[in-house]
């Protein structure tokens, strides 16, 4: 069982954050490299957009299932070993991709990559929550969340360069090398940090993870029902449809609508991960404006309402100006990144007292992965059948569903947190009295 009072010293937290950050950057590089190279892979392999999108769908489909499984066990297993294996296996799969000339074989390789990478987020969150001082966990996770955008940025920058001077195959070679080196460095750094953990104050209130698996499942079930988190799965689902759909297909939209080259099309998409780096800031900014009404779900819902109006603006201007389209798409993906931070990470932090943060992260992230899996194939299919106009109409229509679910979830989650706060205050009063 994990000793909740054995944690690293505050001055070592930056080392923990840095190695977790690098690990997730490498992970994202090893998954978004396919998306960033799709604009070149499609004509090179002679496949349709739907077939190319299906490769990503296979990845996200199995990745989402893995989020649930790994989320339930991440609080109980050796996070260091699991992450080392994940990075190493993903490196081998990335190295294999350039040697495959059939898009149908690629989708099975990328499915294996989805299995390998599905352990990363929950185990990284487990590492942070088990090793970092409890009062520093919110700040560490806020910074850590930007690693996804940083990894995507690295992938698109590298893709644009290789598409200009070489071919898309070198993108997978680079990812393989980065993943393998990161696996080695990760194991060494975490091993060193574990040797220098210290005993913290026994008055800390966060409990160790549930030792009884069935008890943990009952706890999670209670949180989901009482907190209305079924709606959060829907929010996460459509958040992925918008964020991944726009990110993956922007290069193709630019190429087909404004006749840009492959390298320039990918270069245009680089603006998205750059802007998305400010996702955590947007969460903080929105939360401060909401004041006493602020919590993760309310913030996410507020941002989705704003995103709906930007999606309408995108539909009206996308075919008149590439610059305007890029600015609007960047604004939307920024809001979707912030929404993802709220529903996938911050919800789990708000109920950290229950000791099942990794499990909640994994389950809610399943909703996001399901949306990612659908959007990769569906957007390509819709575009080929009915064109880009229908794609942008689809985006704003489904945003309405997300907003409605957000409003419903806000009601239940706010009430749940209020009850949790009252319960904790009563327990503290009893403890001090005793």
Find, among 420, 329, 341, the residue nearest to 145 by Cα: 341
Q: Which of 163-177, 211-225, 258-272 has the highest mean pLDDT?
A: 163-177
Per-residue pLDDT band at 434 (split at 50, 70, 90): low
Count the Cβ atoms, other than its own, within 10 Å of residue 308: 19
pLDDT band at 1 (very low <50, low <70, confident <90, very high): very low
- CA-based end-to-end distance of the chain: 28
10 Å CB burial of residue 294 (0-12, 13-18, 19+) is middle
Q: What is the mean pLDDT of residues 22-50?
A: 91
CB 330 within 8 A of CB 107: no
Find residue 406's DSSP bridge partners: none
Q: Is pLDDT of 293 > 60?
A: yes
Domain boundaries in the chain? 10-195+212-433
What pLDDT is attached to residue 297?
94
Q: How far apart are CA 245 and CA 376, in angstroms?
A: 6
Residues 233 and 398: their CA atoms lie apart, in Å, by 14
Structure tokens at 422: 């009252």
* Tens digit of each residue's pLDDT (9 = 90 or more) over 333-385: 999 999 998 998 888 777 766 667 667 877 888 889 889 888 878 898 999 89
Cα 2 off chain centre by: 26
Residues 371, 376: Cα–Cα separation, whole Å: 9
The CATH number of domain 10-195+212-433 is 1.20.1250.20: yes
pTM: 0.79
């Amino acid at each position: 069982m994990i000793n909740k009072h054995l944690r690293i010293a505050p001055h070592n937290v930056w080392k923990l954050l840095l190695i977790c950050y690098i690990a997730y950057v490498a992970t994202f590089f090893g998954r978004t490299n396919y998306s960033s190279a799709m604009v070149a892979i499609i004509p090179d392999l002679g496949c349709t957009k739907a077939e190319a999108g299906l490769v990503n769908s296979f990845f996200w489909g199995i990745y989402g299932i893995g989020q649930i499984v790994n989320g339930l066990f991440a609080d109980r297993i050796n996070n260091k070993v699991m992450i080392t294996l994940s990075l190493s296996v993903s490196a081998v799969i990335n190295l294999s991709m350039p040697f495959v000339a059939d898009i149908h074989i690629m989708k099975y390789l990328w499915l294996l990559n989805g299995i390998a990478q599905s352990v990363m987020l929950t185990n990284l969150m487990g590492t942070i929550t088990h090793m970092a001082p409890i009062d520093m966990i919110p700040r560490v996770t806020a910074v850590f969340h930007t690693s996804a955008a940083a990894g995507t940025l690295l992938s698109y920058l590298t893709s644009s360069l290789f598409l200009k001077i070489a071919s898309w195959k070198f993108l997978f070679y680079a990812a393989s090398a980065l993943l393998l080196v990161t696996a080695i460095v990760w194991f060494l750094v975490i091993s060193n940090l574990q040797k220098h953990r210290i005993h913290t104050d026994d008055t800390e209130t966060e409990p160790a993870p549930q030792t009884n698996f069935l008890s943990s499942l009952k706890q999670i079930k209670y949180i989901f029902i009482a907190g209305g988190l079924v709606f959060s799965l829907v929010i996460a689902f459509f958040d992925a449809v918008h964020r991944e759909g726009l990110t993956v297909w922007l290069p193709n939209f630019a190429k087909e609508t404004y006749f840009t080259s492959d390298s320039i099309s990918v270069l245009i998409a680089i603006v998205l991960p750059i802007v998305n780096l400010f996702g955590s800031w947007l969460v903080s900014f929105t939360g401060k404006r909401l004041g006493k009404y602020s919590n993760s779900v309310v913030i996410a819902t507020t941002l989705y309402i704003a995103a709906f109006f930007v999606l309408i603006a995108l539909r009206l201007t996308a075919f008149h100006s590439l610059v305007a389209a890029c600015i609007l798409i960047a604004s939307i993906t920024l809001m979707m990144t912030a929404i993802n931070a709220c529903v996938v990470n911050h919800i789990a932090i708000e109920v950290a007292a229950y000791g099942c943060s990794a499990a909640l992260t994994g389950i809610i992230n399943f909703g996001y992965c399901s949306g990612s899996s659908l959007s990769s194939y569906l957007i390509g299919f819709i575009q080929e059948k009915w064109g880009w106009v229908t794609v942008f109409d689809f985006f704003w229509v489904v945003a309405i569903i997300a907003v409605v679910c957000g409003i419903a979830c806000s009601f239940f989650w706010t009430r749940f947190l209020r009850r949790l706060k009252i319960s904790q205050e009563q327990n503290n009063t009893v403890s001090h009295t005793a």
